[in-house]
């Protein structure tokens, strides 16, 4: 069970307070779930109601960072452009 | 002789946990027995000479208590009766209570006379993997076998009534979680607490100290047990330490989450007396976790090693020291570690006859060995047990010993009579909880057991769980664990003080990793050499599995059942890993164990559910009108409870549905549609936004009118349908069908915040603000004319929309089209709804206004051939499949457009929604019924589609059905057959608009 911090309202809460919206893809881009860093949409469902981006390692579940919508996400360690 | 309690004044060291002045009566299989306060169920049963507790799962061999702890594979019992019955409990973990009623499992029809034991003779019928090969065909025969096998091999009886106990959930946070309160765990807690960290320690047993009471020695100048007491008191007094006893960590999860199940008893929680939950489930988040989970003593694997009266050596010592119980009077000890000598010393002091110590090691040379030997004890070194004999449920009667160094032969074997055989194969660390976080343990050949291996950051394994078994090593390694946890959290700020106390203890001679001796046994004997006693898996079974190609650990587990029991192979995983490579299976390396999964020990469903049961299981959504529907049949739809029908006294549900349908078709009905979504979309970008969201062009809807629209997901499948009305230039209202209020506004919001962020749009979900009342039927204009207000509905056409005042309150009116008849949906403020509902019933009394429910609504829609999102679409249906291609915009770049253009979604043989009319007009095929083309075709026949909705139409006086059929649009008028319980019924494929095409010719 992940512990997630919302980059919009800054609340840190259990995964069940959020809702995962699947892979974060730009229009025209195709990405698949893979071992390693994955970028996803998440919704601060029980909090401020904002969608945001989250980078998560799909094997060790470490969270590498998050970003608000409209911002260009950085390249996270272990990620290839 | 059998196990018994030693007299009171024999030796003050023995029986330290029991209170002989507080006898407790309990029953075992109906027999009245007596124990003492402080006993566990297992110790009390042993004290009463109970040798056999259960029958084994597969071969129904009699089994007795083998261990003092959670690793015991046999002592599985059920306690309580009726609604309090709890199956699959380990007798070693149950504190004895007055009046406890205990029953054996797996002993049908009874423990003593057991028809199932006959199974052993039929053993060739149940080889490893029999479940895969023996009963596959014919299928019907397997069902009969399964029933019989389950009855004999069942794991207890599930309670048949709701659990009357209360369970709680608690969330907690800590810096460091210490799992296990033995000496390593206590030292770790002390070290971490001294760094100022918030420490949480959970111990599975009702008291701290682990198995420290099995050892002599001194820490910090005081006897081990005194050190335990002093440290526990010190930790209990510290403000930054939380001690939890009788609380098992059942699982470790990502990001430091631990699930802990605390057994709440008057002994551990006296302050809660009177209002006590049975268990409390802790969800604890910790920044670091120290596993000080100890070790399990390994049994020895040899032929006939599973009889009652065969017990682990250290367990026997602990039963004596804690509860004053000796396992027998004539004892042989077979050991490959020094534990056998410690136990021999104790049992001799308690008056038992130790006939011989059989040491598997070639040349034992430890202090304990020499001490016992010089006392005159008969010892055979380099020897091993190779077989036992016994008398059924009375257990072992003799053991055969052979010399390991000489060539096998009868003369070199000796038979010794005994009533008890104590075994020790050395220790196996128990860091299995690390496996919950994906860690693979590594196999240590020297040790003949798994060590922690690579564990994730923030997880530290310490003490015996880390392979540090001796007292001095264990306590020092525990302290190191606490310091490492502090370093993980504090980094450079950690003080990292060393462990300073002096430890005096005997250092054990290393155990030899023997495990099993298949090399000196015959194949028949190996079939009776048990590796996993709980699942009845033997060396011979493993041999067969390897021979048949299932030699990898995960295969072996499924094929033989090894490690699949409720004990998760606690007593067998190390021995199995040592034996497997010798049989030619996969070599024991870091990946050679099966995956350890939560829960580590079985936990009650009640603990998982907590307070979320009964009415608290899920919240129930109600509409502003639900409380008026006490006479209706209410049914769940999502979180809603909605009226399915309003049966009058004496009316069946089906009759009520037909009456309600007739009322709507011939007069007027009113329907609570409040459970549909009302979403207000406004802003200068509202029209463009909705054009992107909807597959249908809606942005140019004229003000004061509405359009029916479809909403797709990115793949091009229909996820919603609804009506989009334009209120003003920059304001739209989207309404959906009943029961789906939550999803569409969330979907809008998601795209508004992500891809469509630049549009000037505001989304307001108004669902809770309005009550929706649908008026349907030819008398609608008449009823509306009787409602005071300024909305002029007389000029309404099929897509009209108006705002105004109705019955003294602001309202919206929409010409909707759910039932394919005259219809108006009124939205009024939620608070005004009950009064308005009653006003409508009163105002329309003379024209026969009646309420109708979801069932009638569905039947009305079926008559019109209108699709129902919850029935016809399953997430794989496109607008074209529904025959609604006209609604798809040819211009706009809506969500789902590119998905919809994929070749697979435009293939001509996709399933289309069509009507199906059976030749037998009164026959209603249930949804899901298959459609075939030719009943003469041999099975398996080709299925061309399935029924999605069906029901009797009172209007057309025949049954109707909708179906999804391959290329259905091309087969209108064709014959098809509907399969119902094996029979084929002829039918015709038709268009879906039944009202417009089917004549009422009845
Ligand atoms: Zn938030």
More confident residue, B588 or B140: B140
Buried b (16+ CB within 10 A) or exposed e, B97-135: eeebebbbbbbbeebeebebbebeeeeeebbbbebeeeb
DSSP B610: T
Q: Residue B518: what pLDDT?
A: 46
Q: Residue B139: what pLDDT?
A: 54
Within an 8 Å CB–CB cutoff, is residue B173 touching chain A? no
User: Residue B852 — very low, low, confident or very high, per pLDDT cuts 50/70/90?
Assistant: very high
Distance of alpha carbon B235 from alpha carbon B193, whole angstroms: 8
CA-based end-to-end distance of chain A: 28
B561-577 pLDDT per residue, tens: 888 887 888 889 899 88
Residue B77 reports pLDDT greater than 60: yes
Burial (CB < 10 A; 0-12, 13-18, 19+), residue B8, is: exposed
Within an 8 Å CB–CB cutoff, is residue B253 touching chain A? yes
B177-223 pLDDT per residue, tens: 999 999 999 999 999 999 999 999 999 999 999 999 999 999 999 99
Q: Which residue among B253, B256, B753 sits closest to A51, beta carbon to beta carbon?
A: B753
Q: Is B815 helix (H, G, I), strand (E, B) or coil?
A: coil
Within an 8 Å CB–CB cutoff, is residue A58 touching chain B? no
DSSP B211: T
Distance of alpha carbon B262 from alpha carbon B279, whole angstroms: 5
Q: Is B226 helix (H, G, I), strand (E, B) or coil?
A: helix
Q: Which residue among A41, A43, A61 sits closest to B255, beta carbon to beta carbon?
A: A61
Q: Is B651 helix (H, G, I), strand (E, B) or coil?
A: coil
CA-based end-to-end distance of chain B: 87
Q: What is the mean pLDDT of residues B690-717?
A: 94
**Strand order in B669-672's β-sheet?**
B801-806, B809-814, B823-829, B770-776, B669-672, B850-851
Which residues are CB-neighbours of B538 under 8 A, at least 6 positions away?
B526, B527, B528, B529, B530, B531
Residue B868 reports pLDDT greater than 70: yes
Beta bridge partners of B89: B77
Distance of alpha carbon B553 from alpha carbon B546, whole angstroms: 10
Among candidates B731, B730, B728, B721, which has minimal Cα distance to B694? B721
CB contact under 8 A, B753 and A50: yes
B820-830 pLDDT per residue, tens: 888 999 999 99
Are B316 and B423 spatial neighbours (Cβ–Cβ below 8 Å)? no
B646-689 pLDDT per residue, tens: 999 999 999 999 999 999 999 999 999 999 889 999 999 999 99
CA of B761 to the centre of ligand 1 (A): 20
With a CB-CB cutoff of 8 Å, which residues 744-763 of chain B face chain A?
Answer: 746, 749-750, 753-755, 757
Considering chain B, what percentage of its residues have pLDDT values greater than 90?
65
CB contact under 8 A, A27 and B749: no
Alpha-helical runs (H) found in B637-737 = 653-666, 686-693
Distance of alpha carbon B571 from alpha carbon B559, whole angstroms: 19
Which residue in A has a C-alpha nearest to residue B257's C-alpha? A1
Q: For residue B764, list chain A residues with Cβ-Cβ distance below 8 A.
A: none
Q: Set out the domains of chain A in order of their start, with CATH numbers.
A: 3-26+34-68 (3.30.2270.10)
Distance of alpha carbon B191 from alpha carbon B199, whole angstroms: 10
Interface test with A, best of B750, B762, B763 (most A CBs within 10 A): B750
Number of H helices, E strands in chain B: 22, 52
CA of A42 to the centre of ligand 1 (A): 10
Which residue in A has a C-alpha nearest to residue B438's C-alpha? A60
CB contact under 8 A, A27 and B753: no
Q: Residue B549: what pLDDT?
A: 87
Burial (CB < 10 A; 0-12, 13-18, 19+), residue B898, is: middle
Phi, psi (degrees; rounded to nearest 5) at B936? -80, -15
Residue B422 reports pLDDT greater than 90: yes
Which residues are CB-neighbours of B536 under 8 A, at least 6 positions away?
B56, B57, B58, B59, B61, B530, B561
Q: Residue B514: what pLDDT?
A: 67
CA neighbours closer than 13 Å in the CB half-sphere of residue B839: 14
Are B624 and B833 spatial neighbours (Cβ–Cβ below 8 Å)? yes
Q: Which residue among A3, A21, A69 sits closest to B757, beta carbon to beta carbon?
A: A69
CB contact under 8 A, A70 and B255: no
Within an 8 Å CB–CB cutoff, is residue A60 touching chain B? yes
More confident residue, B931 or A77: B931
Q: What is the mean pLDDT of residues B115-125?
A: 54
Q: To the nearest whole angstrom, how far is the Cα of A2 from the nearest Cα of chain B?
A: 6
Q: Residue B80: what pLDDT?
A: 85
Q: Residue B590: what pLDDT?
A: 42
CA of A17 to the centre of ligand 1 (A): 10
Q: To the nearest whole angstrom, how far is the Cα of A80 from the nearest Cα of chain B?
A: 23
Q: For residue A2, list chain B residues with Cβ-Cβ distance below 8 A.
A: 254-255
Q: Residue B506: what pLDDT?
A: 79
Distance of alpha carbon B212 from alpha carbon B218, whole angstroms: 11
Q: For residue A60, list chain B residues with Cβ-Cβ distance below 8 A.
A: 438, 456
B39-53 pLDDT per residue, tens: 999 999 999 999 998
Cα separations (Å) of B590 from B431, B472, B587, B594, B756? Answer: 14, 28, 9, 11, 50
Which residues are CB-neighbours of B642 under 8 A, at least 6 positions away?
B623, B626, B634, B635, B636, B672, B675, B738, B739, B853, B854
Which residues are CB-neighbours of A42 under 8 A, at least 6 positions away?
A4, A18, A19, A20, A21, A51, A52, A53, A54, A66
Are B538 and B529 spatial neighbours (Cβ–Cβ below 8 Å)? yes
CB contact under 8 A, B749 and A61: no
Interface test with B, best of A3, A50, A67 (most B CBs within 10 A): A3
- DSSP assignment string, B733-745: EEEEEET-HHHHH
Beta-strand runs (E) in B874-957:
911-918, 930-932, 943-953
CA of A24 to the centre of ligand 1 (A): 18
Q: Which residue among B253, B456, B753 sits closest to A60, beta carbon to beta carbon?
A: B456
B247-258 pLDDT per residue, tens: 999 999 999 999
Can you give the length of chain B in residues?
Answer: 1002
Q: Set out the domains of chain B in order of their start, with CATH numbers.
A: 4-153 (3.10.20.440), 167-295+429-504 (3.50.50.60), 620-675+769-866 (3.30.1360.120), 676-766 (3.30.70.1400), 907-997 (2.40.30.110)
With a CB-CB cutoff of 8 Å, which residues 309-328 of chain B face chain A?
Answer: none
Q: For residue A3, list chain B residues with Cβ-Cβ distance below 8 A.
A: 255-257, 285
Among candidates A61, A54, A64, which has minimal Cα distance to A21? A54
Q: Residue B592: what pLDDT?
A: 64
CB contact under 8 A, B255 and A1: yes
Angle, vertex CA B254, rays to CA B251 and CA B255, nearest 5:
120
CB contact under 8 A, B254 and A43: no
Question: What ipTM was estimated for this complex?
Answer: 0.94
Q: Residue B145: what pLDDT?
A: 60
Q: Residue B611: what pLDDT?
A: 93
Among candidates B404, B422, B420, which has minimal Cα distance to B360? B404
Residue B411 reports pLDDT greater than 50: no
CA of B667 to the centre of ligand 1 (A): 51
CA of B733 to the centre of ligand 1 (A): 27
Cα separations (Å) of B3 from B48, B51, B225, B419, B761? Answer: 7, 7, 26, 9, 80
Q: Is A53 helix (H, G, I), strand (E, B) or coil?
A: strand
Q: For residue A49, list chain B residues with Cβ-Cβ distance below 8 A.
A: 749
Q: Is B641 helix (H, G, I), strand (E, B) or coil?
A: strand
- DSSP assignment string, B174-195: EEEEEE--SHHHHHHHHHHHHT
CB contact under 8 A, A69 and B456: no
Q: Residue B6: what pLDDT?
A: 93
CA of A65 to the centre of ligand 1 (A): 15
B252-276 pLDDT per residue, tens: 999 999 999 999 988 888 888 888 9
A15-46 pLDDT per residue, tens: 999 999 989 877 666 778 888 899 999 999 99
CA of A69 to the centre of ligand 1 (A): 12
The DSSP H or E segment spanning B148 is helix B139-153
Mean pLDDT of chain B: 89
Within an 8 Å CB–CB cutoff, is residue A49 touching chain B? yes
Q: Residue B769: what pLDDT?
A: 93
Q: Residue B81: what pLDDT?
A: 79
Residue B297 reports pLDDT greater than 80: yes
CA of A31 to the centre of ligand 1 (A): 26
Among candidates B363, B359, B521, B331, which has minimal Cα distance to B425? B359
Distance of alpha carbon B946 from alpha carbon B928, whole angstroms: 5
Q: Residue A77: what pLDDT?
A: 83
Which residue in B has a C-alpha nearest to residue A42's C-alpha? B750
Q: To the nearest whole angstrom, how far is the Cα of A77 from the nearest Cα of chain B?
A: 17
Q: Before B599, cis peptide (omega within 30)?
A: yes
CB contact under 8 A, A69 and B753: yes
Residue B712 reports pLDDT greater than 60: yes
B501-518 pLDDT per residue, tens: 889 887 888 887 765 564
B486-496 pLDDT per residue, tens: 999 999 998 88
Q: Residue B979: what pLDDT?
A: 95
With a CB-CB cutoff of 8 Å, which residues 431-470 of chain B face chain A?
Answer: 438, 456
Burial (CB < 10 A; 0-12, 13-18, 19+), residue B876, is: middle
Beta bridge partners of B770: B829
Residue B591 reports pLDDT greater than 60: no
User: Residue B410 — very low, low, confident or very high, per pLDDT cuts 50/70/90?
Assistant: very low
């Amino acid at each position: 069970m992940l512990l997630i911090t919302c980059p919009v309202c800054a609340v840190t809460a259990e995964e069940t307070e959020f809702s995962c919206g699947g892979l974060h893809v730009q229009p025209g881009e195709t990405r698949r779930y893979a071992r390693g860093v994955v970028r996803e949409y998440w919704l601060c469902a029980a909090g401020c109601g904002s969608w945001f981006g989250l980078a998560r390692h799909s094997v060790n579940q470490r969270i590498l960072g998050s970003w608000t919508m409209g911002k260009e996400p950085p390249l996270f360690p272990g990620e290839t452009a | 002789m059998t196990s018994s309690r030693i007299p009171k004044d024999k030796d003050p060291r023995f029986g330290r946990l029991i209170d002989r002045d507080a006898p407790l009566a309990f029953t075992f299989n109906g027999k009245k027995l007596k124990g003492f306060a402080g006993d566990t169920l297992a110790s009390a049963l042993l004290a009463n000479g109970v040798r056999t507790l259960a029958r084994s799962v597969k071969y129904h061999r009699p089994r007795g208590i083998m261990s003092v702890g959670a690793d015991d594979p046999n002592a599985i019992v059920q306690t309580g009766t009726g609604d309090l019955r709890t199956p699959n409990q380990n007798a070693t973990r149950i504190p004895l209570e007055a009046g406890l009623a205990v029953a054996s499992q797996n002993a049908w029809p009874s423990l003593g006379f057991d028809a199932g034991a006959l199974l052993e003779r039929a053993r060739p019928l149940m080889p490893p993997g029999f479940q895969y090969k023996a009963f596959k065909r014919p299928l019907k025969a397997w069902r009969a076998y399964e029933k019989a096998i389950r009855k004999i091999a069942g794991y207890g009886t599930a309670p048949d009534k709701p659990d009357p106990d209360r369970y709680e959930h608690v969330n907690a946070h800590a810096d460091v979680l210490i799992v296990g309160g033995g000496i390593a765990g206590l030292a770790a807690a002390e070290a971490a607490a001294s760094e100022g960290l918030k420490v949480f320690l959970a111990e599975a047993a009702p008291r701290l100290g682990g198995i420290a009471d099995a050892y002599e020695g001194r820490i910090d100048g005081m006897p081990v047990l005194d050190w335990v007491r002093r440290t526990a008191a010190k930790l209990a007094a510290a403000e930054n330490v939380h001690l939890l006893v009788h609380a098992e960590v059942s699982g470790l999860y990502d990001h430091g989450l631990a699930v802990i199940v605390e057994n709440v008893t008057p002994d551990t929680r006296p302050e809660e007396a009177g209002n006590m939950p049975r268990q409390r489930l802790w969800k604890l988040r910790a920044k670091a976790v120290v596993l000080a989970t100890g070790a399990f003593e390994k049994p020895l694997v040899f032929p006939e090693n599973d009889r009652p009266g065969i017990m682990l050596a250290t367990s026997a010592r602990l039963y004596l020291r804690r509860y004053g119980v000796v396992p027998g009077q004539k004892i042989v000890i077979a050991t490959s570690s020094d534990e056998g000598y410690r136990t021999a010393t104790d049992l001799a002091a308690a008056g038992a006859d130790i006939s011989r110590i059989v040491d598997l090691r070639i040349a034992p040379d430890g202090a304990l060995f020499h001490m016992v030997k010089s006392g005159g004890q008969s010892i055979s070194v380099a020897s091993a047990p190779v077989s036992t004999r016994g008398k059924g449920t009375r257990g072992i009667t003799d053991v055969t010993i052979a010399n390991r160094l000489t060539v096998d032969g009868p003369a070199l074997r000796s038979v010794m009579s005994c009533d008890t055989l104590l075994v020790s194969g050395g220790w196996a660390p128990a860091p299995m909880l690390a496996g919950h976080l994906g860690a693979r343990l590594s196999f240590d050949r020297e040790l003949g057991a798994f060590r922690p291996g690579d564990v994730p950051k923030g997880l530290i394994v310490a003490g015996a769980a880390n392979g540090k078994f001796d007292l001095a090593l264990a306590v020092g390694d525990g302290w190191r664990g606490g310091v490492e946890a502090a370093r993980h959290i504090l980094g450079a700020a950690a003080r990292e003080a060393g462990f300073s106390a002096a430890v005096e203890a005997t250092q054990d001679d290393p155990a030899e990793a023997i495990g099993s001796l298949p090399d000196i046994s015959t194949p028949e004997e190996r079939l009776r050499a048990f590796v996993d006693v709980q699942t009845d898996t033997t060396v011979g079974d493993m041999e067969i599995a390897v021979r048949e190609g299932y030699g990898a650990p995960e295969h072996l587990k499924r094929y033989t059942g090894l490690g699949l029991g409720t004990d998760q192979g606690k007593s067998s995983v190390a021995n199995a890993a040592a034996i497997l490579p010798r049989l030619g299976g996969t070599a024991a390396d870091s990946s050679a164990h099966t995956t350890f999964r939560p829960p580590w020990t079985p936990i009650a469903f009640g603990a998982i559910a907590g307070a979320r049961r009964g009415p608290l299981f899920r919240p129930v959504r109600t509409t502003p009108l639900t409380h008026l529907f006490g006479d209706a049949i209410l049914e769940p739809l999502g979180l809603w409870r909605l009226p399915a029908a309003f049966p009058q006294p004496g009316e069946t549900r089906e009759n009520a549905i037909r009456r309600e349908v007739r009322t709507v078709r011939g007069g007027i009905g009113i329907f609570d549609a409040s459970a549909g979504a009302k979403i207000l979309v406004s802003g200068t970008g509202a029209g463009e936004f909705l054009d992107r969201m909807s597959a249908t062009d809606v942005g140019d809807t004229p003000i004061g009118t509405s359009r029916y629209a479809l909403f797709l997901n990115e793949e091009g499948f229909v996820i919603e349908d609804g009506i989009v009305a334009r209120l003003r230039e920059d304001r739209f209202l989207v309404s959906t069908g009943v029961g789906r209020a939550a999803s569409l506004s969330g979907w809008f919001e998601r795209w508004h915040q992500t891809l469509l962020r630049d549009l000037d749009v505001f989304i307001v979900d108004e669902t809770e603000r309005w009550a929706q009342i649908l008026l349907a039927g030819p008398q609608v204009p008449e009823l509306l004319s009787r409602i005071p207000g300024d909305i002029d509905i007389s000029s309404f056409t099929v897509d009209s929309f108006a705002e105004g005042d109705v019955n003294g309150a602001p309202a919206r009116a929409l010409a909707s089209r759910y039932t394919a008849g005259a219809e108006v949906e009124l939205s009024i403020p939620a608070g005004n709804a009950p009064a308005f509902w009653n006003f409508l019933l009163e105002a329309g009394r003379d024209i026969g206004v009646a309420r109708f429910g979801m069932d009638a609504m569905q039947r009305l829609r079926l008559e019109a051939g209108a699709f129902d999102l919850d029935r016809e679409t399953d997430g794989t249906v496109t607008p074209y499949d529904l025959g609604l291609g006209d609604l798809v915009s040819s211009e706009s770049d809506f969500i789902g457009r590119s998905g919809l253009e994929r070749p697979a979604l435009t293939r001509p043989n996709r399933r289309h929604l069509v009507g199906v009319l059976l030749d037998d007009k009164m026959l209603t095929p249930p949804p899901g019924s298959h459609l075939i083309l030719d009943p003469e075709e041999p099975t398996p026949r080709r299925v061309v589609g399935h029924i999605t909705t069906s029901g009797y139409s009172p209007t057309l006086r025949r049954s109707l059905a909708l179906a999804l059929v391959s290329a259905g649009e091309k087969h209108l008028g064709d014959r098809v057959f509907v399969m119902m319980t094996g029979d084929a019924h002829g039918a015709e494929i038709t268009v879906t608009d039944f009202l417009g095409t089917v004549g009422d010719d009845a």
